Structure 1
Amino acid sequence: MGLAAPKDPAGNNAPLVYGVAAATGVKAADVEDSNCTGVTGASHWACLQLDFQGGGASVSFNRSLIEDNTVSSDSGAGALVFTSTQTSQGGGSSALIVRISNSRLVRNTGGSGSALYSSVPLMELDINQSTISDHRSTFRGSSGSGGAVHIQGNSSAVRLHGTNLENNTAECGSGGAMYVYGTVDNLTVNGSSTVSGNSAGDSGGAIYVYDAVNTLTVNGSSNISGNSANGGYGGAIYLDSNVYTLAIDVSSNISGNSADGGNGGAIYILSYVNTLTVNGSSNISGNSANVGRGGAICVNDTVNSLTVNGSSNISGNRAVWAL
């Protein structure tokens, strides 16, 4: 691994050295018991930029704090930026494994993905027992999508376990907390995770996935609440294609989310769903599509199988459809 001036994540050729640290040719990186706080006036990235080489690369953060950092450049990303000179769109052997555990990423500001921006497709993004909160992405339009996390490529697995994803904002874009520009095989929110208070200027108040999702699971007493899509669809979650399996299980809660510019007060799915299950005393209530259809969930195509059982509750959701 060698220290070097990184290239512009936006694709420009000029080297940029405006963050705290950068490294190229990285195969694996482990960051433990580290702090990066109070960086201001950074360009493109604030704390750490890693350029990965070859397949099977990985990076982990454990017991670390990334807090109160600001990227001010008009083409800037966020506090942590991951790039590669050998990437492909798919999430195969060239993809990156990212693990964040027992860490806090808080109050960072940038153009897109203010906590974490990856132009590398991901084999795995695993966020465990961590807090990602109070981020703000300021780019206008789709370039400013992903208030906290922006992944530019396909992902095999995105998992939140025992994690708080709260109060993040994409001011003008989509995905108030997280934006994935590609497919996701498995998107999981479990282990009493909380996804709340996130907002997007467009669609997907908390999470926006630009392509298909094979399995979306919310379980383990997790909570998705109080998220808002201020100008678009999917108050909490927007999925821009089909979902094969959508499961809300084990006393999980989806409530108080709102889509103020379109359909799907809590969840909007552009295409079909093969299997939709609400089970295990789960609750879907108090969500609203304020100018559209589907106060709780809107599927824009067919649902092949719908099951609600196990003392689950779907109530008090509201849709206002104006001709």
Structure 2
Amino acid sequence: MTDQSSEARHGKRGNRSGGWWPVALIVVGVLILAGNLGLGLGPLWRFLGNALQLWPVALVAIGLDMLTRGRYRLLVASVAVGLVVVVAAYGGFGRTAGPPVTVEQAVAGARSARVTLGVGASAVTLGAAPNATAAIWGTVRPTRNEHVEQKAAKRGDVLDFSLRSRTTGWPFFNVFGGGSGGSWNLTLNEDLPTDLVIDGGVGSLTLDLERADLTGLDLDAGVGMITITLPRAGGFTGTVDGGVGSTTILVPADLAVVIEVDTGVGAVNVEAGFEKSGNTYRSPAARTAGADVARLRVDVGVGSLTIRSRR
């Protein structure tokens, strides 16, 4: 009788085991799956960012619960959670993007450039076009609690330009991009050889580099969807360190490129026509003898990678 009672107690305890971990695993799995399928998660990250910005509500709720000795715990918790959900869903208390910042950096006689972009919680669109005087130009619309820092220096014939996001307040919570989010719309000078460095944050990255004269690419991605159109001209080297989200690499028909892929947590989808050897893929143009081959190394991270020809 005692053994049966003990087994029954252990059985009930076993049925209750697991706690909230299974739910957490399910949520994480759904997020990763959404990233693999290329679904936009921007609204979700903004909602989480807004919610984290409201963390002091938890302190108020705990204080009220202590003052009332827990008599109204359910009511206090319900009001606190409801307040956070409603305010986070509607973008926070006036957390709108700040006034636009104009970016226009002169070539100043440089023969090449190194451009560094340190992105915060913003969507980035970068292209290339001719310009008689500017190395890079465009508009940045920062988020609230963010300012954009521009620095330029000339070292010999090389222009070193950096554009970085700086935040105020609590950095941990700002990193999730509370509020409506910002935008970076920039253009490189297609006639100026450029070494491009991007430190990604939270938000989508759309890099149309087909017309760019790229000498190097170093992209450290954050959280969001990434689309990269590689330059038509080869000869450059680059690395793409994937973060969390889907990455799509578009290869112009005439570009000879060898792409080495380091698979993380996610799927790799490569269009037919790219020659595969181990974890390396060669574009059709890379098989031509004497081609000026570009070399790209991609670390998938958590998410999906798609490589295909530009249509």
**TM above 0.5, one fold?**
no
Structure having the higher strand fraction is 1
Structure having the higher helix fraction is 2
Structure with larger RCO (C-alpha < 8 A, sep 6+): 2
Which range, TM-score by smaller chain? 0.3 to 0.5
| TM-score of the aligned structures, taking structure 1 as reference length | 0.36
| TM-score of the aligned structures, taking structure 2 as reference length | 0.37
